[in-house]
Amino acid sequence: MNDLIKDFPILNQKVNDEQLVYLDNAATTQKPRAVVDAVTNYYYHDNANVHRGVHTLAERATAKFEGVRKKVAHFINAPSEQEIIYTKGTTEALNWVAASYGRSFVKPGDEIVISYMEHHSNLVPWQVLAKKNGATLKYIDLLPDGQLDVASAEKKITDKTAIVSLAHASNVLGVVNPIAKIAEIAHKHGAIMVVDGAQSTPHMKIDVQALGIDFFAFSGHKLMAPTGIGILWGKSELLEQMPPLEFGGEMIDWVQLQETTFKQSPWKFEGGTQNIAGVVGLGAAIDYLENIGMKQIESYEKSLIASVLPELVKIDGLEIYGPLDPAKRTGIISFNLKGLHPHDVATALDMEGIAVRAGHHCAQPLMEYLNVAATARASFYLYNTIEDGHRLVEAIKATKEFFRNGIV
């Protein structure tokens, strides 16, 4: 996939006099020309508000807007495009499940089960819901290598459990969780299964039906679409039971002085003017990814990790979080250099033109679980190369020597 770099002009630049190596893809991905062109073309030729308009531009904009809904349904193998709801991103989607379904159906004494590896977006909404509705929030343990402890899940999920919500893939540990297995356990106890797909959807083929889940959320900007657009998928029978959270234009059926009726799903959740250009960009991003093939993307990224991870393991004083088997992780590698703050490591790597992230990665309970304050994180995507991985290894080695020799 090395020839793909031509589609990403931003990658063809120097940072601190070094050729840029962008390894912050878990935070956001770069956008190919096809996505930027699709958004530009929409604004230049089709810009209008969607639905209800009978003029040509409104009809073209609406066709594009609703056409992407069908693309998304196909992309994640949803049974119907009417189960696809546009959101700002994973965060809003998970909040909507907690605030709408959760507040309606979680009762005092119920249990909500998540894990220690969750992003704050898949943790704080459940904390708030548990406190508001009188439920108990429980955490599934992790194995020593960072993988989800299925035996712990079997103990924590009980007949009192109303909701189980897990990341499909961790944004810190790089592990891919056995969602189908956990969903089976959850359903056996009468619970619903919610999945944070922010870190899985860009990197592997998603099949919500095969996973056997009830809700699935992901963000466009992590799979090369614009920021501010995301998806919530939910089973139609659950969506129909959920009340809308925002009220106003677009989502109503009929308004009288004292009563209002709402449209059916998904439109009852999409109040106000949506991020139409973002939706168009999402459609272009999905076209780009499917043209390559999600299985091919997953295979390529695993080959990158299989190349770089063994070299990182050899660096004395470098601690890597998550499994050390490349086959058991995504393209995310979180690490610390002994004696150095991860912010210093990230700054030193930036001086070599290598962009990584440092901090708690919106996973402070996981940091506490790992007994660290923060980590540095390198995350790969389809436009990265084996050479990018080798440059990361050499830059970490150079950073270690730089600080060891007291050149500060």
Q: What is the pLDDT of residues 282-340, one digit of tens each?
A: 999 999 999 999 999 999 999 999 999 999 999 999 999 999 999 999 999 999 999 99
For the chain, domain boundaries: 2-23+293-402, 35-290
What is the Cα–Cα distance from 290 to 305, expressed in whole angstroms?
Answer: 22
Token pair 């997953």: residue: 298
Q: What is the pLDDT of residues 182-239, one digit of tens each?
A: 999 999 999 999 999 999 999 999 999 999 999 999 999 999 999 999 999 999 999 9
From the CB of residue 276, how many other CB atoms can be counted at a distance below 10 Å? Answer: 23
pTM score, whole prediction: 0.96
What is the Cα–Cα distance from 228 to 135, expressed in whole angstroms?
Answer: 31
Indicate which residue of 48, 252, 315, 362 is catalytic: 362
From the CB of residue 200, how many other CB atoms can be counted at a distance below 10 Å? Answer: 23
Tell me if the domain spanning 35-290 has CATH number 3.40.640.10.
Answer: yes
Return the structure tokens found at 97: 């499940």
Query: 2-23+293-402 belongs to which homologous superfamily?
Result: Aspartate Aminotransferase, domain 1 (3.90.1150.10)
Active site residue 390: no
Q: Do domains 2-23+293-402 and 35-290 have the same CATH topology?
A: no
What is the Cα–Cα distance from 169 to 369, expressed in whole angstroms?
Answer: 17
What's the average model confidence in pLDDT over 79-102? 97
Judge whether residue 407 has pLDDT over 50.
Answer: no
